[in-house]
Every structure is written in C-alpha cells, then in structure tokens.
Amino acid sequence: MSLAFDLHRWTRDWTPACPYERLQPLRGVAVLLPDGVQVALFRLADDSLRAVGNIDPIGRAAVLSRGIVGDRGGFPVVQSPLKKQAFSLLDGRCLDADGVRVPVFATRVGIDGTVFVANTPDVRFGRRPEPVVK
C-alpha cells in the first residue's frame, strides 16, 4: 500500500514563516500569507506556537504581532497595543468585548526547523476539510 502525497496541495495550504530558533519567546512576528492576509505568530513561554490574524478588529490596524503576550485565567492571550483588548490565542475570541474575534491559524514545524503557518483558518490538524457534496 502506498500513500499518495500531493506536494502541490501541501504547499498551497502552508506558508513557511521562519526558522523556529529565530522566534523569541513571548514576542510576535507578522507573517504575510500568499493571499495578502497577515498573521501574528507567537512563540509562547512553553515553546509552543500560536498564530492569529494580525488585524485588531477594534483598532482596525495590523498590530497584534506587536501586542503583549501573557495569560488570563491560565489561557494564553495577546493584548492589543492600541486599545488593550485581550484576544485568546486558543480560539481568537476577545475577552473584553462580546462577539469580537480574530481568526486562528494552525502552525507546524518542519523537520528542518522551519515554522509553517496555515494559509487559511480552515486548515486544522494539518488537513483542509473535504468539501461537502450535496
């Protein structure tokens, strides 16, 4: 049995960001995806990676990668440098304003240490959901 690996689909779903060791803990970097979407990529204190949309939906500027990383109630958050709202790095919801959220992007680290960010929030657990046929 052989597994068919579609390299074109994989490269369409993931964007290389930078080498893992270049990411500083608790500091964010902005990553530009092929379709022009900006993502804020963070290396947390436990060396895990999180990525959310870089656009602050309240301040309407691409600044979340420059936000303060910490935790609230034991959950990782980034606090916008503009109006200081905290956004969960787990699910993207704003903890200070109901109904406001940022998209969450999957991350992975390649064998060579390159960090990859999913090109859309739809890519989860390394796979894009199959289209629903009606």
For 95-131, the pLDDT digits (tens) are: 999 999 999 999 999 999 999 999 988 766 555 555 5
Tell me the Cα Rg of the chain: 15
Element (H, E) at 10: helix 7-13
Can you tell me the distance from the alpha carbon of 98 to that of 94, in angstroms, rounded to the nearest whole number?
7
What pLDDT is recorded for position 77? 96
Average pLDDT of the chain is: 88
Can you tell me the distance from the alpha carbon of 96 to that of 76, in angstroms, rounded to the nearest whole number?
14
SS3 75: strand
Please name the amino acid found at residue 53. G
Can you give the pTM of this predicted structure?
0.83
Q: How far is CA 107 from the centre of its chain?
A: 7
Can you tell me the distance from the alpha carbon of 3 to that of 1, in angstroms, rounded to the nearest whole number?
7
What pLDDT is recorded for position 3? 56
For residue 49, the 8-state DSSP code is E
